[in-house]
Amino acid sequence: IGWISRNRRLARDFERHCRIAAAFVRMAMIRIMLRRLARKPSA
């Protein structure tokens, strides 16, 4: 769960609504996936 430390808003539960908290988790995961896709392939 190291990726949570990069997304400080996810480190603690500041959100009152579950939908908003889930949306922030989804955005963090999309960010991680985009970084992996944008990496240059190691050949």
Evaluate the CA torsion angle 12, 18, 21, 22 in order and state its sign: positive
- Whether the model clears a pTM of 0.85, i.e. scores above it, the answer is no
Q: What is the pLDDT along the chain (43 residues), one digit of tens a residue?
A: 555 556 655 556 555 677 877 888 888 889 889 988 998 777 6
43 domain residue, yes or no: no
26 domain residue, yes or no: yes
Task: Specify the number of domains making up the chain.
Answer: 1
The whole domain housing 9 covers 2-38
Four-CA torsion 5, 1, 16, 26, nearest 10 degrees: 100
